[in-house]
Structure 1
Amino acid sequence: MMDNRRSFLKKLGLAGSLLSAPSLLKASPFAKKGNIDVSSITLRGRVHSKGKGIAGVAVTDGINIAQTDKNGEYELLSNATAQFVYISVPSGYAFPEEKGIAAFYKPISKAAVVKNDFALDKLEVDDRKHHFVVWADPQVKNKSDVEQLVKQSVPDLKELVKSLPAGTLIHGIGCGDLVWDELELFEDYKKAVALTGVPFYNLIGNHDMDLEARTDDLSAHTFKQQFGPTYYSFNRGDIHYVVLDDVFFLGASKNYIGYITENQLQWLEQDLALVKPGSMIVVNLHIPTYTGQGRRMKKKEDEPGGTVANRKQLYKMLAPFKAHIMSGHTHFNDNWEEGDIMEHNHGTVCGAWWTGPICGDGTPAGYGVYEVDGSDIKWYYKGTGMTKDKQLRIYEKGRVKEYPDEISANVWNWDNKWKVEWYEDGVLKGEMQRRVSFDPWAAELYLGPQLPVKRKFVEPNLTDHMFFAKPTGQATKITVKATDRFGNIYEETI
């Protein structure tokens, strides 16, 4: 048989190379020290509260998921490529934290069996009622930006907490771009969070990556040192929260796309399999899955780094549930809804990169506030330094140059269930007309190559939440009345 095989291979001209393969394999660089270690590791431990085991807690290495048994014990077969073992904190328990940063994970040491326990404190209040805030894009570049974060945003959140009933549960989502490429400022961001007194879960943005990394796999190295895994879940009350990393680094500085990797999606399949269909899911990611920006700019396709390329796969996985998606990245405020999915693309903590009081679409620098009661969620946008009742801004006639005879109003957290009406001298004139337009103040602050002085790249954004009306020449007072989907009424008068 060997002679026949040798004869056949000679005809193909391959006999020499294939028959000498064993010696080549011995010399292969892949056999040298430094190759990827995929040796098996067994993860073991216990999840408990004051020594009493907690059953049914999801424990993961980011690849597979196990649940704790009746004694709170878990065992999970892993391998040496895994970096963390972490839990999906169950409802009814306080979020473990370290100076305001969620601490739900343990680094995996190099050993055949790795043992890690997780201690949780049982809440003394019903967590089916709680609040959370979404801080999108704090994006500090230098100590001046940090100072604004500490002196403006931190006190504002502290005042919000103070305004809530005593004992109200509240947590934060740091929705990516925590810093602006200067990764040493992660420490300053963490100090700011600690000052708020609110525990924060954090996720990675395109400005939180190691830009010298050679692949996406390595781009989150520094972020992981500071905040742990880049995708995970947790629970509070009847809500299941999921955090994803949808920034895919293309191996060159500032070159990325919106994309959710297969590793995350297969992990998410396992995670959602443990959640009862029909439940409310809150998905948090940096790059929005979708916005109206491409349509507003009349582009046939979205910018690769502006939305998530494989978003429809995520939507399919969310189909058995009700879902709210929380995103940042764009520095404008944009809401869309289809079926049981709604996405909130938030205005930013930094406004237009700490250059002025508003984002490029006229939304105030600020953050989203969400009030949870069971599986019901209500929300509003909180402008920094503003009360919750400030939800719109009116501009006098002619401020928008394209419509010189019309007054305009920016209703920045508008969605399709809002109603925006106007009154002339106390008489209801009907609903205002919504148009795609620039916010005039944003245009005055940011439009053109010389504005703003601090960071000249900032430009205004077209938005869907500008409204227009044409008053008579005799009008002395114009009032705009905006009613949100929850029946809250907001009025402004000029």
Structure 2
Amino acid sequence: MKKISTLCCGLMLASAVQAQSVVKGFVFSDLNNNGRKDKNEKGLAQVSVSNGTQVAQTDANGEYQLPIGKDNVIFVIKPSGYKLPLTEDNLPKFYRLHKPEGSPALKYKGVAPTAALPASLDFALTAKSEADDYTALIFGDPQPYSLDEIEYFSRGIVSEVEGIKDVEFGLSLGDLVGDNLDLHQPYVKAVKKVGLPWYNLMGNHDMDYDAKADSLSDDTYEAHFGPANYSFNVGKVHYIILDDILYPDPRDGKGYWGGFRQSQLDFVENNLKFVPKDRLIVLAYHIPLHEEGEGDAFRDEDRNRLFSILKDYTNTLAISAHTHLQRQNFHGKAAGWNGAKPFHEYNAGTTSGDWYSGEFNIQGVPSSTMRDGTPKGYAFLRIKGNQYSIDYKVAGEPKEYQIRIHTPRVVPAGGNTSSGIYANFFMGHEGNPVHYRIDNGEWKDMTFQAEPDPYFQRLVYNWDFIENLPAGRRPSNAVKSTHLWRAAFPNNLTEGKHLVEVKAKDMFGREFTQVQAFWAEKKEQ
């Protein structure tokens, strides 16, 4: 009897170990929205589920099965035509953390030891009429370092879009907070007020800096938001969200480096096996794939493999943040992309702008213009089928405000000046047609200038020469703008008020205009 009992115990233990090496369950249509699979609720076929590396599709009954280790996040990849349940804070519920031993000792705790997986780990979806044409709201780097800056974010950005209509979902592009991971929950509460399903991704300021391995640096992020690498479908678009921060830097064990672990790129490759080639693939991550002037900011082999995985998709877009600038990056053969047209990466302007710097505006929050002259704000991703366009919205300004004109207030009448007419076209890039005219005269070309924006330089100089130190923090020093144009003043201006008008056309073929007044005066003899 003793031998049989020991054998039975051994078999039971082996069975338990085996059970935890595999996860299985159903993806089902949740007719009554109770989150449980009831007898009358059918499974959904051909829905992808992942453990963070492998991807399996459900069978005809809606059942899936995946291998599981000691540190996985199991998640469903939302198909088009369905919606995910939401938490009370509007975060999508699409995952289950599996970390039975919990996180190692970390300052911000990470993930507590998780309970054993259920015999059937099921994911609930609800059918939803989902248009192919829609809008998503994009936030770059909220990055508050304190509760005061959470308040600046809430008043300066969130209040402007609170209760917004006709937007499908929102997405923040990392640096949800600034190193203090206890602010993740106040950030969530702030974004909740927008009233949209809200997705997030991890930035370098959302990491556990005391983690000893890159795979553990996202543990506290996971505890609040779930997987740092995941995907979902809306309409004819497949979104892939990735953590592209290698920490500690594998080169020297210090700091971080832009790149991906092999398992992350394996996930992208396994995931795309089930995505039709005519879909628009939108990748979102924090660090741009290449930073001009930043040296070796991203690991080349990771970018090359990502581009190789995407090579058969003709419609692609990448969205990043991190730089606290706004740029249109176009990756071509020199960067490893071999598509018929360059790979477009929109490096989005940030909701924190220049890290909540500068004088306080009429809202009582820092104006925080970015170092390239882009005002702080947020973006709208406009989807039409498998095509896209992007609008940048300057916080506190009308949506039509897309160009800032900078001129002297007064120039010489009937004479020459070394001053120029500058136009900062916030969504522009070299190659966009930008023109100007004075007093409804003939339209003339403006010249692209890779130099700092003089308007932003004036903001910095004003701070340096002011008699009494204002509240807030000095703006950062200016950097070269990638969307600045210049024209010379004519030498035949008459005395009095004049109007300069600038028009610019963006990469999507849309035209924008802006007008500004200046004065011409005769010099005293």
TM-score, structure 1 normalization: 0.83
CA distance in 2, matches of 1:193, 1:110: 30
Matched, 1:318 2:323: no
Matches within 5 A, 1:322-361: 322-337=315-330, 338=332, 339=341, 341-356=343-358, 357=367, 358-361=369-372
Structure 2 match to 1:203: 201
Structure 1 match to 2:108: none
Matches within 5 A, 1:267-346: 267-291=267-291, 293-294=292-293, 302-305=294-297, 310-321=302-313, 322-337=315-330, 338=332, 339=341, 341-346=343-348
CA distance in 1, matches of 2:463, 2:74: 49
Q: CA deviation at 1:431?
A: 1.7
Amino acid at match of 1:324: L
Q: CA deviation at 1:171?
A: 0.9
CA distance in 1, matches of 2:299, 2:375: 23
Identify the match of residue 74 of structure 1 among 51, 58, 64: 64
Q: Once the two structures are superposed, what CA deviation does each residue of 1:123-152 show, in whole Å capped at 9, x if it has no partner?
A: 1x3331221122110000011111111112
Amino acid at match of 1:311: R
Matches within 5 A, 1:401-412: 404-412=418-426
Amino acid at match of 2:488: K
Measured at CA, do residues 344 and 156 of structure 1 come closer, stay the same or move farther in structure 2, by a change above 3 Å? same
- Partner secondary structure for residue 144 of structure 1: helix
Structure 1 match to 2:53: 63
| 2:430/2:482 contact within 8 Å kept | no
- Partner secondary structure for residue 186 of structure 2: helix
Matched, 1:388 2:378: no
Amino acid at match of 2:257: I
Structure 1 match to 2:373: 362
Measured at CA, do residues 195 and 324 of structure 1 come closer, stay the same or move farther in structure 2, by a change above 3 Å? same
Matched, 1:433 2:447: yes
Structure 2 match to 1:130: 134
- Partner secondary structure for residue 115 of structure 1: coil
Structure 1 match to 2:162: 158
Measured at CA, do residues 446 and 307 of structure 1 come closer, stay the same or move farther in structure 2, by a change above 3 Å? farther
Structure 1 match to 2:337: none
Measured at CA, do residues 310 and 74 of structure 1 come closer, stay the same or move farther in structure 2, by a change above 3 Å? closer
Measured at CA, do residues 404 and 212 of structure 1 come closer, stay the same or move farther in structure 2, by a change above 3 Å? farther
| 2:430/2:448 contact within 8 Å kept | no
Identify the match of residue 179 of structure 2 among 178, 181, 204: 181
CA distance in 1, matches of 2:463, 2:248: 29
| 1:365/1:384 contact within 8 Å kept | yes
Amino acid at match of 2:156: Q
Identify the match of residue 78 of structure 2 among 58, 83, 89: 89
Q: CA deviation at 1:57?
A: 0.8
CA distance in 2, matches of 1:212, 1:42: 31
Q: CA deviation at 1:435?
A: 1.0
Matched, 1:115 2:137: no
Moved more, 210-219 or 197-206: 210-219
Residue ranges of structure 2 left out of the alignment (5+ in a row): 1-16, 32-40, 99-113, 333-340, 359-366, 411-416, 517-525
CA distance in 1, matches of 2:277, 2:378: 30
Q: Once the two structures are superposed, what CA deviation does each residue of 1:264-312 show, in whole Å capped at 9, x if it has no partner?
A: 0111110111112232100000001124x32xxxxxxx43447876312
CA distance in 2, matches of 1:106, 1:156: 33
Structure 2 match to 1:473: 491
Q: CA deviation at 1:52?
A: 2.4
Matched, 1:47 2:27: yes
CA distance in 2, matches of 1:269, 1:310: 13
Structure 1 match to 2:479: 461
Residue ranges of structure 1 left out of the alignment (5+ in a row): 1-36, 163-167, 295-301
Structure 1 match to 2:361: none
| 1:398/1:404 contact within 8 Å kept | no
Q: What is the root-mean-square deviation of aligned Cα atoms in Å?
A: 2.6
Amino acid at match of 2:354: A
| 1:422/1:481 contact within 8 Å kept | yes
Structure 1 match to 2:226: 228
- Partner secondary structure for residue 388 of structure 1: coil
Matched, 1:484 2:495: no
| 1:204/1:286 contact within 8 Å kept | yes
Identify the match of residue 141 of structure 1 among 126, 145, 160: 145
Q: CA deviation at 1:397?
A: 4.1
| 1:127/1:169 contact within 8 Å kept | no
